[in-house]
Structure 1
Amino acid sequence: MASASPEEDQSVTEVTDNYETTCWGCGLHILLPSCTSIFKCGWCGAITDQNKKKRDDKCVRWRLLRDRCVLCVVVTFMLLVIFGGVWAIYPIVFSLSLLCGVFHSTIIAILSIATISFFSLAAFRCAGTPPNILWGSYPTVGKGDLENYTFCQYCSKPKSPRAHHCRSCGKCILDMDHHCPFIGNCVGAANHRNFIFFLISAVSSTIYISIMAAYASTRIWPPLKYSVGRPNAMSQQYLAWRVIKEIIFAFLGSALLLSSRGLVLLYLFISSLSLQIGLVVLLWQQLSYIYHGKTYLSNLSSSTDNEEEKKDCQNIVRFFGFQYPATRFLPTFHVVRKRHVK
């Protein structure tokens, strides 16, 4: 009988050192492999990431001070544009006719009130904090109550999958889109709609200001004085360049002769036109995210398309709070068939 060799008796055995840890959500003890740093509780569904550590954030006060300073600058600019436009444009408008002056005064009052109101709601209203939920002990936390919740190291409380911690505001924001320094606040679930309405009213106001400033400027602009010379001795290309050059120099020369009201109109036109371009781009970006059913942060974090997030105009309808189609509020006409009596 042959004896087995020592090599045949040897076998490889993998030894895994398990360790016991505690779920932050329900407090139950969990046995995990030593290589596991991120795990999900099988009872409450809370996700624990042991690699995440709280970082010291000493710049929160400076960020708040920065936001307040930018907010004051934005409010001052809005008031200067409103009162500067009234002072520069409306004497010219009322000189045409009283009815025209009253009509444009009504428009500017509506646009000003709407812009300032939606700006105040977006800036001074809470962006939306996650709801308080019970956590920490097994009897109070039911099965699946903390599904996909994580623990916020800064707030020291549960953070829902729809929430994101803003280090500028120092708190978690529900459905956070981004932190906007121009309103000094986050754009989240509670003020996102007001922020979109503010962009719409601001775009409408800048369009109105640029049109009225351009029209009023044509009424008080000094006449342009330029001389092209003899066109017979010039080529067509040189003649076109000479005309453009003379018009530009005449325009700049006449701008030096403008009154204070004309300078204000020129500033209103340039500032409103440049601001209008930026606001239109931002509004288009926000509406495209809403159309895709996402926010700015969720668009950055998601690399693949989610099945639940579909491109649909109903996303925009639900965002603005219209639960029913417009045809629901229209009158319906029923065709009554005539009954023949025998």
Structure 2
Amino acid sequence: MASSSPEEQCGAEVTDNYETTCWGCGLRVMLPSCAPVFKCGWCGAITDQNKKKRDQRCFGWRVLRDRCFLTVVILFMFFVIFGGVWAIYPVVFSISLLWGIFHSIITTILAIATVSFFSLAAFRCAGTPPNILWGSYPTGGKGDLENYTLCHYCTKPKSPRAHHCRSCGKCILDMDHHCPFIGNCVGAANHHSFICFLISAVLSTNYVSIMSAYASLHMSPPFLYSLGRLKGTTGRDLAWKLLNEIFVAFLRSALFLSSRGLVLVYLFIASVSLQIGLSILLWQQLSFIYQGKTYLSNLSSQTDNEEEEEEKKDCQNLVRFFGFQYFVTRFLSNFWVTRKRHNK
């Protein structure tokens, strides 16, 4: 069989290619047939022709779920604040007036901080990606859309730092995760408020658990139990009967609790449970910030080397996140200036 000429081979290669248009700048691009994903050499936009838009029929149910969770959380917060004041502070003020005023100030500070940071995290926009011009050659300049992709839901350019949230129905800049309990995403604009809310919530639940236990000890009925039934028992039976006697005595005393006492017991159990869960979430968030990542970036960082990940871990990430870097450098610069003047 005769071999084909170079001209025929070139013609065959050309026929295998196909022509398409870049969504970012509108320029025509010649691609091989096996290249569904390509990057424009002019504007830098990335096109993925295999990516399909997912079904969003559950969007309304997600919005309803978020609103229900948000309503329950707000009602529970106000119940803890006003229910705790109603149940705890009559006991506190009966002990000492100054003691009651001191704890009233602490309660006011914690309540205002928790509600304020929660409102900022829940009702502030999580982060809007930068709005850039695209779609045609004059508007899409060279490198303007570097590593941008087209969001198939918003039909807008999506930067590498953005992620589309199907619960919110929009792209979020530096998205960490979608939290149904605040009914909002955690992104570049409200991540700081979300962390501050977690810190204030952990402190508040710790304070509520301590004060509810303290008030319960002062107003609980006598805790009566009898150790006479434990005579003649040894080993495992002794420990089991001792726990059983204490539990039965606790139930007897609980039957004589007033409404304030029942509220105190509920506040103690709820605050301890929330304190454990919120502390775990706060530790996870701070560890991601320490690594210079978000929750979503941590899931997608499977191709990074271990050495590169170790270089990113630094306490400066926490300093930059909380905004302490500006204040620290400004204080140190002023300190050195005044020290030099004093030495002169």
Q: Tell me the TM-score normalized by structure 2.
A: 0.91
C-alpha displacement of 1:121: 0.5
Q: Deviations over 1:157-210 (max 9, x none)?
A: 100000000011100000000000000000000000000000000000000000
Q: Name which one, 1 or 2, has greater alpha-carbon Rg.
A: 1
Is the CA contact (8 Å cut-off) linking 1:228 and 1:242 kept in structure 2? no
Residues in 2 aligned to 1:50 and 1:37: alpha-carbon distance in whole angstroms: 5
Is the CA contact (8 Å cut-off) linking 1:210 and 1:269 kept in structure 2? yes
**Superposed counterparts of 1:121-200, under 5 Å:** 121-200=120-199
C-alpha displacement of 1:230: 6.7
Equivalent residue pairs, number: 331
C-alpha displacement of 1:305: 3.0
Matched position secondary structure for 2:104: helix
C-alpha displacement of 1:327: 7.0
- Is the helix fraction higher in 1 or 2? 2
Matched position secondary structure for 1:111: helix
Partner of 1:51: 50
Partner of 2:321: 319
Partner of 2:76: 77
C-alpha displacement of 1:59: 2.1
Structure 1 residues 232, 316: closer, same or farther in 2, change over 3 A? same
Residues in 1 aligned to 2:154 and 2:341: alpha-carbon distance in whole angstroms: 62
Partner of 1:3: none
Residues in 2 aligned to 1:201 and 1:232: alpha-carbon distance in whole angstroms: 49
User: What letter is aligned with 2:151?
Assistant: C
Between stretches 207-216 and 220-229, larger displacement belongs to 220-229
User: What letter is aligned with 1:137?
Assistant: S
Residues in 2 aligned to 1:261 and 1:201: alpha-carbon distance in whole angstroms: 25
Structure 1 residues 169, 232: closer, same or farther in 2, change over 3 A? closer
Between stretches 322-331 and 240-249, larger displacement belongs to 322-331
C-alpha displacement of 1:311: 0.2
Residues in 2 aligned to 1:278 and 1:30: alpha-carbon distance in whole angstroms: 52
Is the CA contact (8 Å cut-off) linking 1:293 and 1:311 kept in structure 2? yes
Partner of 2:99: 100
Q: Does 1:203 align with 2:205?
A: no
C-alpha displacement of 1:136: 1.0
C-alpha displacement of 1:240: 3.4
C-alpha displacement of 1:11: 6.8
Partner of 1:111: 110
User: What letter is aligned with 2:274?
Assistant: L
Structure 1 residues 198, 136: closer, same or farther in 2, change over 3 A? same
Between the aligned residues of both structures, percent identity stands at 74
User: What letter is aligned with 1:180?
Assistant: C
Residues in 2 aligned to 1:89 and 1:138: alpha-carbon distance in whole angstroms: 68
Matched position secondary structure for 2:189: coil
Residues in 1 aligned to 2:326 and 2:304: alpha-carbon distance in whole angstroms: 27
Residues in 1 aligned to 2:342 and 2:221: alpha-carbon distance in whole angstroms: 70
C-alpha displacement of 1:256: 1.3
Structure 1 residues 337, 156: closer, same or farther in 2, change over 3 A? closer
Structure 1 residues 58, 101: closer, same or farther in 2, change over 3 A? same
Matched position secondary structure for 2:324: coil
Partner of 1:329: 331
C-alpha displacement of 1:321: 1.4
Is the CA contact (8 Å cut-off) linking 2:230 and 2:242 kept in structure 1? no
Partner of 2:18: 19
Structure 1 residues 327, 32: closer, same or farther in 2, change over 3 A? closer
Partner of 1:284: 283
User: What letter is aligned with 1:112?
Assistant: A
Is the CA contact (8 Å cut-off) linking 2:230 and 2:241 kept in structure 1? no
User: What letter is aligned with 2:323?
Assistant: G
Partner of 1:301: 300
User: What letter is aligned with 1:313?
Assistant: C
Structure 1 residues 192, 20: closer, same or farther in 2, change over 3 A? same
**Superposed counterparts of 1:203-222, under 5 Å:** 203-222=202-221
Partner of 1:263: 262
Is the CA contact (8 Å cut-off) linking 1:163 and 1:173 kept in structure 2? yes
Q: Tell me the TM-score normalized by structure 1.
A: 0.91
Is the CA contact (8 Å cut-off) linking 1:178 and 1:297 kept in structure 2? yes
User: What letter is aligned with 1:94?
Assistant: F
Tell me how large the CA RMSD over aligned residues is: 2.1
Q: Deviations over 1:15-64 (max 9, x none)?
A: 43111100001111110011110000011110000111223412222211
C-alpha displacement of 1:324: 3.5
Partner of 1:239: 238
Structure 1 residues 10, 114: closer, same or farther in 2, change over 3 A? same
Structure 1 residues 237, 39: closer, same or farther in 2, change over 3 A? same
